[in-house]
Chains A and B, each alone.
Chain A
Amino acid sequence: MISLRNLEKFYQQGPDRFYVLRRINLDIKPGEFVAVMGPSGAGKSTLLHVLGMHDTAWTGEYLFLDHPIHKMDRKQRLEVYKRHFGFVFQSYHLLDDLTVAENLDVPLSYRDIKKSERQAIVADVLDRFQIVGKKDLFPSQLSGGQQQLVGVARAIIANPKVILADEPTGNLHSSQGIEIMEMFKKLNEAGATIIMVTHSEVNASYAHRIVRIVDGWIEQQ
């Protein structure tokens, strides 16, 4: 599903290059649950944003479902991302001035879906995540766990094939973290490919395999 070949990312600092990712070769199959681990500053989140096409300044090859992402322009990449990817953040990043239901509607509003259809999808997801009662609340009125639950619901609402998660339980206490990881497990069992950056060995144990990154290099798969 995902294939990276000799992918590199660096920052130019005067005459020198500071590499964040070095010669990354990585293959991820459909339905896999992959944990990316490594020390702080190793390049884990950078790799995740490259996979999510938020970061476009890199070299090498990136194939997604055999489509050469590295040859696509910004618009084409955005289309691929909108059709196939969802993103979960450590700090939830819900939009403060929107209600839970409106936050869930945001990804759909960028996908040319009719309003009535969007309302039905939002209602369905609220129901699936058992947060119907909170649909009119604002993020500030939710606990951290509830916010992340909404964050996960928002990531999957457009029915993505791949969910990218950047330390999804990093700001939660353990019981809330378990709840979120169980949710990821269910989503993975339902067919979603999940790539998760984490520092937690417990969370990593939910994954099928662990990719470790140190100083921008993949150390061990």
Chain B
Amino acid sequence: MAGLREDVRGAFRRLAANPGSSAAAVLALAVGIGFSTSIYSVADALLFRPLPVPEIERVILIAGREEGAARGHRTIAATDYTDWKSSARSIETLAVSHGFSATLTGVGDPVQIQGAWVTASFFDVMRLQPLMGRVFTSEEETPGRNHSIVLSQILWERQFGSDPNIIGRTIEISGRKVTVCGVMPKGFTFPQPGMFWVPLALDDKAWADSGSFYLRAVGRLKPGATLDEARAEFRALAARIAKQRPDTHTRLSAHVDALREQISGDLTASFTRMTICFVLFLLFIACLNVANLQLAKVLARTREMAVRLAMGASRARLLRQTLAESVLTALIGAACGLLIAVWSLDLIKSNMPPEVERWLPGWSSMGLNGWVLFWTACTAVAAGLVSGIGPALWLSRTPVAANLHESGRSATGSAGRQRLRTILVVTETALALVLLVGASLTVKGFRAIGQLPVSIDPARVLTFRVDLPLTHYTSKSMIVQFQRDLIERLRATPGVVSVGLLSSLPYGSSGNNYSLVTIEGRPAERGPQNITQVQVTGGDLFRTIGVPLVSGSMFTGAEGADTQSVAMVNQTFVRKYFDGQDPVGRRFHLGDGKWKTITGVTGDIVQDFTERSVGPVIYQPYQQSTQGAFDVAIYTAVEPLSLVAAIRQAVYSIDPQQPLSLIRSFRKLIDHSILGIAHAASMFAVVGLVALFLAVLGVYSLMAWSVTERTREIGVRLALGATREEIRWMVLRRGGTIAALSLGLGILGSFGIARLMQGLLFGVSATDPVTFMVMPAVLVCVLTAACLLPAQRATRTDPIAALRHE
């Protein structure tokens, strides 16, 4: 222990004695470790501890899934819950929830808030004690007794000013009076963006309904039960239920996932993991850079090592001493890296709009905590060992006798060291190219996702969401009347060019509706191949968001409940169900036997950016298929946000209790939906650029060192008649060899990472020829620049001084 203390003290002293190279090493590692720390914080908040739930690893989500489908989670029926609850042995507690949007009135302006109906067991599954008050009792699951509400800490804080007397207070949610019985602790927002919870009170008929799939199940594994056991058990249960309920559950299986894995969504998890890989790659490059710097110092230290060996030091002791220095360098780098982490986390958090943040559980608690610092320290020690092991092994193998010889020449193995340094530089440069290509592909993918094929500028379209409370809008005609009035009043607002309604705008966060479609003249078939998305639309939607009419005609606006049922479809629908032939005039129904006639075909537009291709979509007029929750799009002749007050006024003039939510331009809506990818792409780009910088630094350092070591040789060559040009080319040739080797390895690695990213990350294309040409060209340019300076210095060598060099 005392020896280790001395090693550390000596390491401090040596670092202080070489401030230049120590600072370079600390800086390189600070960048690598700093970015690692910030991404650990993101991963800790989003993936590892997204909710303040005890033993979160035991909490599982159980969903339905079409047999044979690789992805996708379906909501479940009430009977699934009762069947699973009575049969499943691997779980301790099971609960179901159903998210909904409501209007909170009576507390300032009406606001739209999202919450969930939950069974009383929901809080048992979460094992969370409320911050104040209590959670639900099972009696409150009885219809007529469900008058309680539990608030999230954020709703309590924002809407009720953290009122300490909130418990027992009666509030109005979508026109229904409920009493606050509890407030949950900070950070608990499940199911997202859960701002409140009310008891799920179903009558016996609803509990016996096996055909309505609208519930989400969450459970807690029994102690000792594994996820795999639960998966096997629920698959078996689902198979049994499919046989018992063939009408509703044919081909329906069950899928179990850890809540922690799924809560932030597939994309968040895969992008966060890929970012961790990128950052660790960067850290590895930084380690190679530091190893390279340390190898350059080997010459100065071989004599010291030989003396220490001659004084009786064991080689293991020397190894420890040298590693202590590199680990110390890395720990100092980690301390400096914390500043980079704090800065980058602030940047990431400040760029996250509240509309997106509410969908990311754990985001608000993201920061440097004990776990993150622990992993940072582990990373620093590992980085110190990785960067130091090569030079340390080299130094510990110093031949004693040769280095204590009085001839003045040290046996430092210059050629071997040069080879090793070249390998390190080639490796880090190749890795930098891999990261650059990966970053470029991600950025290009992100930009492609953000470009919708619409004929208008999305920045000129104002969007917002309306969610009409069913307690006030008790009939379809009331909803239709509201929508008709809304379209008319908005059209009449100065600055408005056109207005459209849609169940859910492309890239919007509202869920999409799907239905089985049966084409007239063909047998009705159940199965995923006949599922199509159904949208309800009104006004001049397609003109407003710039989607073209391909054939037929738009809705006239005169459609009604008593007129012929009509629909428009997109081009993919036509290709899928009509082999590309004109479908205008053809009919279909959505499982209810009510035929709808196709009147027009619109262009394709991606609805959900995670879809790898556009799916079939049916558009129905709002007068014939009523939906109380919808998005509104307004094409404006002026700055869209300048119309917000006038639009609020137009809505309030129809219903003063009706709030608007998610007011933003269509451009912002698109940007918000892909913000996670934007963050990842930015991180990848920064990591790629830093990697490039480190690689250039490595090449420059190697070339400069090589020129210094070859000063005598250069002097001799000049004395023998070599021209300055020949000397320059001699140096540049070596740089060229490094660049060629790096490019070869880097391009191979880039193909590998491109294929990997294409499989893991949405929007990334592995075959982008521009990226594969431009990035190597960028690398060649910067490497040439890195070699030019040492080459120029070599040409200025004074042969007489050089020959005195030794």
Contact = CB atoms under 8 A, between A and B. Distances in A.
- A and B interact physically: yes
A91 B408 CA distance: 10
B3 interface: yes
A167 B406 contact: yes
A111 B6 CA distance: 14
A45 B406 contact: yes
B406 A81 contact: no
A106 B308 contact: yes
Interface string A96-120: 1110000000110111001100000
B400 A97 contact: no
B311 A166 contact: no
Contacts of B14: 97
A49 interface: yes
Contacts of A106: 308, 311, 313
A148 to B, nearest CB: 13
A166 B400 contact: no
Query: Chain A interface residue count: which class?
Result: 20 to 34
Query: Chain B interface residue count: which class?
Result: 20 to 34
B303 interface: yes
Contacts of B405: 45
B304 to A, nearest CB: 6
Contacts of A96: 304
Contact of A49 (B10, B304, B317, B400): B400
Interface in A105-145: 106-107, 109-111, 114-115
B107 interface: no
A167 B404 CA distance: 12
A93 interface: yes
A33 interface: no
A54 B303 contact: no
A95 interface: yes
B324 to A, nearest CB: 14
A55 B401 contact: yes
Contact of A52 (B307, B310, B317): B310
B310 A87 contact: yes
B2 interface: yes
A54 B309 contact: yes
Nearest to B404: A89
Contacts of B304: 95-96
A180 interface: no
A109 B404 contact: no
Given A97-B14, A110-B317, A170 B406 contact: yes
B13 interface: yes
A75 to B, nearest CB: 8
Nearest to A96: B304
A196 to B, nearest CB: 14
A4 interface: no
Contacts of A90: 406
A54 B308 contact: no
B347 interface: no
Interface in B474-492: none
Contacts of B400: 49, 54-55
A49 B312 contact: no
A78 B404 contact: no
Interface in B288-347: 303-304, 306-314, 317
Nearest to B18: A97
Contacts of B401: 45-46, 49, 54-55
B466 to A, nearest CB: 74
Among A54, A75, A81, A115, residue most surrounded by chain B Cβ atoms (within 10 Å) = A54
Interface in B2-31: 2-3, 6, 10, 13-14, 17
Contacts of A55: 400-401
A158 interface: yes
Given A97-B17, A167-B406, A78 B314 contact: yes
Contacts of A45: 401, 405-406
B406 A166 contact: yes
Nearest to B5: A115
A126 B47 CA distance: 62
Contacts of B303: 93
Given A91-B406, A97-B14, 11 more contacts: A45-B405, A45-B406, A46-B401, A54-B309, A93-B307, A94-B307, A95-B304, A98-B10, A107-B311, A109-B6, A115-B2
Interface of B: 2-3, 6, 10, 13-14, 17, 303-304, 306-314, 317, 400-401, 404-406
23 contacts: A49-B400, A52-B310, A54-B309, A54-B310, A54-B400, A54-B404, A55-B401, A75-B314, A78-B314, A82-B312, A87-B310, A87-B311, A90-B406, A93-B306, A93-B307, A93-B310, A95-B308, A98-B10, A110-B308, A110-B311, A154-B311, A158-B312, A170-B406
Interface of A: 45-46, 49, 52, 54-55, 75, 78, 81-82, 87, 89-91, 93-98, 106-107, 109-111, 114-115, 154, 158, 166-167, 170
